[in-house]
Structure 1
């Protein structure tokens, strides 16, 4: 079931709600620059196990509105708060992948984990996505700036190049085309603005404030958010568990989808 939720004047966020009568709810936040459909192989399996799965298209992505401004983690966390309150969700599991993980972390800090019982961070773009003078991990600012240049000059080629390093394992040509098509449904402007957010934001102060059990899932071969970021999040978040995906890159939700789904179900139950 798909519908829209108004989060502010002129901005409507698209929601996919599967198995809404289930007692246990999982809210999924996708990564850059895809949309909720990247979790197809969670949405067709986890509801069978009795979970309500809610997918969000972040502003500027998928079927959601694409405003000209407001693509900070704060604003996207505010959108998540409106969605949770509008749907009257309680005791949910919040799952964020890549930039979606960063948004989930900011939500937990900004709203003190409002109505979130458990948190899952999958290949999250945290503690910081880019290298800093006091943080020698992650992606270089120069690489992000080059992605920005490609986004503004040849976005289809940028998406193709990005998808080439997104997954570690072999993918069919059809799957690659499908995944790239998800990324190209995004607004070009939102794609660029969220790259700037990824480049410039810092979540190190947010992580210690997370007070719920947290499952960190991270691919050992991740070329976008290196595995060391998962290790650092595990250090920063007190009640956290780190699970390595030995055969995955950034796309662990698909590359080891059975393990991914099993770890989530085990964590929730």
Structure 2
């Protein structure tokens, strides 16, 4: 069973089935808009619903499909939900370069500019949250109304003399070595902590397959971008209402290293901690997250 089959059969709750299978009447004509990055890379996107624009930025090595349960829910609650595939991921082009954090932030700018979004709400998970922070640091907040950083791997996860939070570079280099030698083994070894014991096997399979469909060179390049950029200088530039959502059982982005550091660095931000939530809280705690996002969007 491939990823599309899992999405439309194994996990086909009514609203998600509608999202995956809806005909032309349900899809926005703007969904046909071609988004090109500055270097010509084409970025695939989904565009559902009407109302306040919300741009979803995906996790490391996952595609825009990861947001299916947020898009299906929030697009029916008065929001225009836009989710795009990072370069090298999903249905976007797979170039051999351009995976630096600055370029990825510029790609997000291309999405916002091409769709002519105003007062956009930016929502990023994991690496996607880091890209949101870098976008604001690089492009400002003229087109941004709010930001939600979900289980975000930021501001800097490398331990340095002035940054006791994080792990030594040798640890991250070892992780890169595991990607390069046996990426499927690394994925399976790290599957359990991403979810909760109650997560269905089908849900695990759906997201794990997305991860395994990301080309290994892309996964490596994207991770290098993540550990190679110190985003601490960008945090004071985030001058819009910001919601930080994090689980206290997040093994991929421990709360003390990421969520709490973001809250300390972004003035006026709100930190919501989900007890027992892992890194994959967008599926394990989807109802709670969807309601918290809706409340934040409407505030």
Give me the TM-score of the superposition, normalised by structure 1: 0.94
Pair 1:252-2:260 in alignment: no
- Within 2, Cα distance between the matches of 1:127 and 1:9? 27
- How many angstroms does 1:33 deviate by? 1.2
- Within 2, Cα distance between the matches of 1:260 and 1:187? 29
Pairwise mapping of residues 37-186 of structure 1 onto structure 2 (< 5 A)? 37-186=65-214
What is the DSSP-based 3-state SS (H/G/I as helix, E as strand, rest coil) of the residue aligned with 1:154? helix
Q: 1:144, 1:195 within 8 Å by CA — same for their partners in 2?
A: no
Map Cα deviations across residues 51-80 of structure 1 (whole Å, 9 max, x no partner): 111001111111111111111111011011
Partner of 2:294: 265
Post-superposition, which runs of at least 4 consecutive aligned residues in structure 1 deviate over 6 A? none
Q: 1:138, 1:225 within 8 Å by CA — same for their partners in 2?
A: no
- Within 1, Cα distance between the matches of 2:279 and 2:67? 13
Pairwise mapping of residues 184-203 of structure 1 onto structure 2 (< 5 A)? 184-203=212-231
What is the DSSP-based 3-state SS (H/G/I as helix, E as strand, rest coil) of the residue aligned with 2:59? coil
Partner of 2:271: 242
Partner of 2:260: 231
What is the DSSP-based 3-state SS (H/G/I as helix, E as strand, rest coil) of the residue aligned with 1:49? coil
Map Cα deviations across residues 113-148 of structure 1 (whole Å, 9 max, x no partner): 231100000011111123223222234433322221
- How many angstroms does 1:26 deviate by? 0.7
User: Which one has the bigger strand percentage?
Assistant: 1
Q: 1:98, 1:124 within 8 Å by CA — same for their partners in 2?
A: yes
Report which stretch shifted further, 47-56 or 126-135: 126-135
Give me the TM-score of the superposition, normalised by structure 2: 0.85
- Within 1, Cα distance between the matches of 2:40 and 2:113? 19
Q: Return 5+ residue gaps in structure 2 as ranges.
A: 1-26
- How many angstroms does 1:239 deviate by? 2.0
Report which stretch shifted further, 141-150 or 244-253: 141-150
Map Cα deviations across residues 203-229 of structure 1 (whole Å, 9 max, x no partner): 010001111000000011111111112
Pairwise mapping of residues 20-39 of structure 1 onto structure 2 (< 5 A)? 22-39=50-67
Partner of 1:14: 44
Map Cα deviations across residues 21-50 of structure 1 (whole Å, 9 max, x no partner): x12111000111111111111011111111
- How many angstroms does 1:18 deviate by? 0.9
What is the DSSP-based 3-state SS (H/G/I as helix, E as strand, rest coil) of the residue aligned with 1:153? helix
- Within 1, Cα distance between the matches of 2:140 and 2:228? 23
Report which stretch shifted further, 246-255 or 211-220: 246-255
What is the DSSP-based 3-state SS (H/G/I as helix, E as strand, rest coil) of the residue aligned with 1:234? helix
